[in-house]
């Protein structure tokens, strides 16, 4: 997982239907970059069968004493 | 009654009204008098509904005279963050876009408080669409900290923190998606409860992030938060994420000793790079908890930076999705910083968003394993006390996101894990600024947090200190 570039962000925003100019795209890249960096160790490593709903299972069955 | 009624705690004033030691009108008028004095300095209220509040108070007094007590908070006046829908009322959500939005339904949390007998003083200021941690609002002006008017309140529940601290309302609903209850509680010297994801229905509360949003009260004491939580908690047909099951007697928990409870202190992240006076307050708080009989031990938590990053990815995408239509049609009506943060969500690929959600269960399981031997974890809410309004007014400048992330770095991981956390006042700086600590608990174990918070408040008086008018 690598942080998106300003050019890539501009293309993504266009596809999303909310176009942004070059300056905004550069600012977004600067803002979200650290989150991508910090999550890089997790991204691409999760097991195949893991679903988002496991959170609720853990929350209700394991987390509460 | 000699005491100014508005200075009483929620539970004390509710008892006093029930026992007819004071009328709801006297209590309501006392709050309105304080609002009239403080509002020009604080900007904590979005709307003040004095006439309607007094009418409702008279009705509550008349009902009580006939023996008809509506509930445990009969005749108690409250005001809440202006994002809880109440049918027929304007709910601005702190925005220009919803300046004239009139709700057609009433939020479940608010309805449950009304069913308990509360009456409405008005509505409270907040960050635009609850998307800001400082208390700035370009549309309605910043909210000011009652302990130092040039300082921020924290956000996004800025009016809630400010109004409770100045004793303008006995309590207030806030919401916590990345720290929005705990931050104002910390900066303003009040008690704030971020509830477990699923504990209180979010139906009729303005959404920001469906995976992270939680409803929670700010009040003067842990006991007051306990009473409010008991009233609001539980399943709701209008919100499938609100869990069913027994609701503990939280108020009873606040009377118990903490002797023998194990409190964990993180050995990293939460204790790194702290302001010296926040670090001292943490040490002093730990000492009080030890004196009260708790066993304080070190805990090693998983990498909190990863949790924080996952939280950012989820929040950015979900907020952008909720706001997409207005981002297209009414971009000019957003404040620059809020629009900037909403645009961040456009840069997160769908796969990254889903990975952040898929990891959540594993991350919670790892946290549960790390804290298996403790009943709660204690940590600072923010690395420093309240900065000035001027120095934190970063707008949409290039380093704005970094400033925001620094301010909220100690609260965001808890939202990702969906855990409950109670912020309690635990000291003041030499300059008179409040400092708070968060007690972080197990999922759905708010009772233990309230128990520890109440024990701490029996042993200290930080929660009783009053700000003074300039």
Please write the tens of the pLDDT for every residue from B362-406.
Answer: 999 999 999 999 999 999 999 999 999 999 998 888 888 888 888
Type and span of the H or E element at A56: helix A54-57
CB B432 within 8 A of CB B147: yes
The yes-or-no answer on residue B81 being catalytic is: yes
Point out the catalytic residue in the list B23, B24, B81, B382: B81
Residue B358: which of A34, A41, A50 has the nearest Cβ? A50
CB B308 within 8 A of CB B416: yes
Q: Which of B463, B347, B441 is nearest to A36 (CA)?
A: B347
Q: Is the pTM of this model over 0.90?
A: yes
Residues 208-247 of B with CB under 8 A from A: 243
Q: Does B275 touch chain A (CB under 8 A)?
A: no
Q: What pLDDT was estimated at residue B439?
A: 98
Q: What pLDDT was estimated at residue B400?
A: 84
Q: Do B443 and A46 touch (CB under 8 A)?
A: no
Q: Do A17 and B405 touch (CB under 8 A)?
A: no
Q: Which of A14, A26, A57, A63 to mutate to test the interface with B (most CBs of B within 10 A)?
A: A63
Residue A35: which of B309, B324, B365 has the nearest Cβ? B309
| CA of B355 vs chain A CAs: smallest distance (Å) | 7
Residue B154 has pLDDT above 70, yes or no: yes
Point out the catalytic residue in the list B24, B157, B180, B308: B180
| CA of B313 vs chain A CAs: smallest distance (Å) | 7
Q: Does B352 touch chain A (CB under 8 A)?
A: yes
Q: Quick one: pLDDT band at residue A65, thresholds 50, 70, 90?
A: very low
| ipTM metric | 0.95
Per-residue 3-state assignment (H helix, E strand, C coil) for chain B:
CCCCHHHCCHHHHHHHHHCCCCCHHHHHHHHHHHHHHHHHHHCCEEEECHHHHHHHHHHHHHHHHCCCCCCCCCCCEEEEECCECCCCCECCCCCCCCCCCECCCCCHHHHHHHHCCCEEEEEECCCHHHCCCCCCCCCCCCCCECCECCECCCCCCHHHHHHHHCCCCCEEEEECCCCCCHHHHHHHCCEEEECCCCCECCCCECCCCCCCCCEEEEECCHHHHHHHHHHHECCECCECCCCCCCCCCHHHHCCCCCCCCEEEEECCCCCCCCCHHHHHHHHHHHHHHHHCCCEEEEECCCCHHHHHHHHHHHHHHHHHHHHHHHHHHCHHHCCHHHHHHHHHHHHCCHHHHHHHHHCHHHHHHHHHHHCCCCCEEEEECCCCCCCECCCCCCCCCCCHHHHHHHHCCCCHHHHHHCCCEEEEEEEECCCCCEEEEEEECCCCCHHHHHHHHHHHHHHCCHHHCCCCCC
Residue B77 has pLDDT above 50, yes or no: yes
Q: Quick one: pLDDT band at residue A62, thresholds 50, 70, 90?
A: low
Mean pLDDT for chain B overall: 97
The yes-or-no answer on residue B156 being catalytic is: yes
Segment A12-47, tens digit of pLDDT: 999 999 999 999 999 999 999 999 999 999 999 999
Q: CA of A60: which chain B residue's CA is closest? A: B443
Q: Quick one: pLDDT band at residue B278, thresholds 50, 70, 90?
A: very high
Residue B307 has pLDDT above 60, yes or no: yes
Segment B129-151, tens digit of pLDDT: 999 999 999 999 999 999 999 99
């Amino acid at each position: 997982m690598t942080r998106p570039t300003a050019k890539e962000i501009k293309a993504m925003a266009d596809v999303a239907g909310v176009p942004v100019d070059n300056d905004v795209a550069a600012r977004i890249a600067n803002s979200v970059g650290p989150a991508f960096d910090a999550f890089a160790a997790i991204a691409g490593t999760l097991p195949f069968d893991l679903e988002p709903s496991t959170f609720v299972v853990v929350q209700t069955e394991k987390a509460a004493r | 009654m000699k005491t100014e009624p508005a200075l009483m705690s929620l539970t004390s004033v509710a008892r006093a009204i029930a026992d007819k030691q004071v009328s709801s009108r006297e209590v309501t008028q006392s709050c309105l008098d304080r609002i009239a004095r403080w509002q020009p300095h604080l900007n904590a209220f979005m709307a003040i509904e004095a006439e309607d509040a007094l009418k409702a108070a008279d009705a509550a007094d008349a009902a009580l005279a006939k023996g008809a007590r509506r509930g445990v908070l009969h005749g108690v006046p409250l005001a809440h963050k202006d994002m809880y829908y109440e049918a027929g009322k304007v709910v601005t959500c702190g925005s220009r876009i919803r300046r004239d939005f009139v709700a057609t339904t009433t939020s479940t949390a608010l309805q449950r408080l009304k069913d308990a007998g509360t009456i409405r003083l008005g509505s409270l200021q907040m960050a635009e669409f609850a998307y800001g941690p400082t208390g700035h609002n370009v549309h309605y002006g910043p909210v000011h900290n009652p302990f130092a008017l040039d300082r921020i309140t924290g956000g996004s529940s800025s009016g809630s923190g400010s109004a409770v601290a100045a004793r303008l309302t006995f309590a207030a609903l806030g919401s916590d998606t990345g720290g929005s209850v705990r931050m104002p509680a910390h900066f303003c010297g009040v008690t704030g409860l971020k509830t477990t994801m699923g504990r209180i229905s979010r139906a009729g509360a303005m959404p920001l992030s469906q995976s992270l949003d939680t409803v929670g009260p700010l009040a003067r004491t842990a006991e007051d938060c306990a009473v409010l939580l008991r009233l609001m908690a539980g399943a709701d047909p209008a919100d499938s994420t609100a869990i069913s099951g027994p609701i503990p007697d939280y108020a009873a928990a606040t009377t118990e000793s903490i002797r023998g409870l194990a409190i964990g202190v993180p050995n990293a992240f939460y204790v790194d790079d702290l302001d010296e006076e926040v670090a001292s307050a943490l040490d002093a708080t730990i000492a009080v908890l030890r004196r009260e009989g708790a066993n304080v031990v070190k805990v090693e938590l998983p990498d909190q930076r990863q949790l924080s990053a996952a939280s950012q990815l989820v929040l950015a995408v979900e907020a952008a999705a909720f706001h997409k239509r207005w981002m297209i049609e009414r971009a000019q009506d957003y404040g620059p910083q809020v629009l900037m943060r909403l645009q961040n969500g456009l840069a997160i690929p769908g796969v990254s968003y889903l990975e952040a959600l898929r990891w959540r269960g594993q991350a919670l399981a790892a946290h549960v394993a790390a804290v298996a031997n403790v009943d709660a974890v204690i940590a600072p809410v923010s690395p420093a006390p309240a900065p000035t309004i001027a120095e934190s007014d970063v707008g949409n400048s290039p380093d704005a996101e970094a400033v925001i992330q620094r301010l909220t770095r100690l609260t965001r991981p808890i939202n990702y894990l969906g855990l409950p956390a109670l912020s309690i006042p635990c000291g003041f700086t030499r300059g008179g600024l409040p400092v708070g600590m968060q007690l972080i608990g197990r999922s759905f174990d708010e009772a233990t947090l309230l128990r520890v918070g109440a024990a701490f408040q029996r042993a200290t008086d930080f929660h009783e200190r009053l700000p003074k008018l300039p």
